[in-house]
Amino acid sequence: MVHILREHGYIPLEAASGVEAVARCAKEMPSAVLLDLMMPDIDGLEVMKRLRRECAGIPVIMVTGHGDVQSAVKAMKLGAYDFVTKPADIERLLVILQRTIEKVELEREVQRLNTSAETSLEWMLGRSEPIRRIVQLIQQVARTDFTVVLEGETGVGKSFIAGIIHSLSGRAQRSLVRIDMASIPETLIESELFGFEKGAFTGAISQKKGVFEKADGGTLFIDELQNMSPIVQTKFLSVLEERSVRHLGGSAQIPTDIRVIAATNRDMKLALKEQTFRKDLYYRLSEFVMTVPPLRERNEDIPFLAQKFLAEACADLQRPEMTISDEAAVFLMQFPWPGNVRELRNAVRRAALTAEDIVLNPRDLQYLIADQENVSGGNDSAALLPLKELTAIAVRDVERKAVQRAMAASGGNKTRAASILQVDFKTLQSKLRDYSIQ
């Protein structure tokens, strides 16, 4: 058997006993094992058990005599991939061996890709437990053709997740077409969705495809689902049920093959209760519902995401690489983020543009509190910070201004500025460095 396998391009390793076989497998990690049932020390079934403990993942093909098929079946139940009887039919043995190795390699590749996808998704979305659950759901649904409803507050990343689902799906090579139901005037929404024929209405000077046709073979992402009018809901449901669309002003039914992902920032159960959204359409769309948690419910993701956004901003702005101080990280984690991930990203990009140092500090983010006060008409955001943090922020701001005034009054003379501030020269140097004052 060794001679035949070598002739067919394999590199066989031999073991004269079960114990030796387990030891060699642990050392060499072969692509597959041809395991005899009867051996001098421990039998093949015991070897199987030990291989599963010590060399998990190596496929085993049992070799047994004609009269002991029952033991081969028992081995299959223990996890053997297949079995051959002695004397072996060499052609069948080679087919089984090749098929087994290919199958295991495929399984390992799928596992590697899944692990790679999970790692990259965590890098994009975060590492908190709620987001790990979202990553699992994305991986489960992406490779299906289920229609998906993404629920969550504005800015949590629903559109971004829709793009991920499409990119991991079997439709990734075709288009992902997006349409925002809130941004298109009511008078134009039907023509955008379904397309129109020349002359269908005033201004229709030529035929135009709607998003259903543009997304054919791919994915259609409907944002702000709750803003779809009752008339459009009826026609939308008809397209999904019939898998075809008819242009405005046309009569021909045009086949469509699309996967729909819809997003909403409203509780759709309330919309169903208020009868502002058709139940049959919602149930048709909600084969798989995913609720994306707001940023305030996963604030452990905030420092990670902030550093990621900071790196992106520095690259875009062609600035040296920047980091976030511990104090700034605490500030970010305690801010309420009503705009969620989108607001965090914008805040970090603005801070990267205006910061005077390569380390982002709380003072670079103070405008967030002012902006929040302007929106809310009060200082609720600041009130969410602990007194110790508020005091530290205030002290640093006062210190910075005092050092700037002293340096201006002394004409830039550090010795005189230190005298004005009644601190030693070394302390002044430290303050100048901390506040990036030239």
Residue showing tokens 């070598």 = 6
pLDDT (tens digit per residue) in 172-213: 889 999 999 888 887 788 888 888 888 878 777 888 888 999
**Residues 12, 6 contacting (CB under 8 angstroms):** yes
Is it the case that residue 108 has pLDDT exceeding 90?
A: no
Angle (CA) 284 244 276, round 5°? 40
Which pLDDT does position 383 carry in this prediction? 46
Alpha carbons 215 and 240: distance in angstroms, whole number: 13
* Prior bond of 185 cis (ω within 30°): no
Lowest mean pLDDT among 1-10, 25-34, 37-46, 235-244: 37-46
Beta strands at 82-86 and 359-360: parallel, antiparallel or unpaired: unpaired
Other C-beta atoms closer than 10 Å to the C-beta of 190 total 19
CA 225 to chain centre: 22
Is it the case that residue 384 has pLDDT exceeding 50?
A: no
pLDDT (tens digit per residue) in 414-430: 888 888 888 888 888 88
Structural domains in the chain, CATH included, are 2-109 (3.40.50.2300), 126-293 (3.40.50.300), 297-434 (1.10.8.60)
Alpha carbons 119 and 228: distance in angstroms, whole number: 36
What element of type H or E holds 194? helix 186-194
Is it the case that residue 379 has pLDDT exceeding 50?
A: no
List beta partners, residue 83. 62
Q: Which ranges of 288-386 would DSSP assign to H, the alpha helix?
A: 302-317, 326-334, 340-354, 367-376, 380-383
Among 223, 105, 213, 102, which Cα is nearest to 161's? 223
Higher-pLDDT residue of 145, 111 = 145
Percent share of the chain, pLDDT over 90: 24
CA dihedral 305, 311, 314, 319 (to 10 degrees): 140
Instruction: Kindly state the average pLDDT of the residues 155-170.
Output: 91
Which pLDDT does position 381 carry in this prediction? 45
Contacts of 69 (CB under 8 A, 6+ apart): 85
Alpha carbons 258 and 241: distance in angstroms, whole number: 12
Residue count of the chain:
438
What amino acid is encoded at 30 in this protein? P
φ/ψ of residue 205, rounded to 5: -85, -10
Mean pLDDT of the chain: 84
Is it the case that residue 372 has pLDDT exceeding 80?
A: no
Which pLDDT does position 378 carry in this prediction? 46
Higher-pLDDT residue of 253, 386 = 253
Considering the entire predicted model, what is its pTM?
A: 0.59
Write out the two tokens for 51: 């291989």
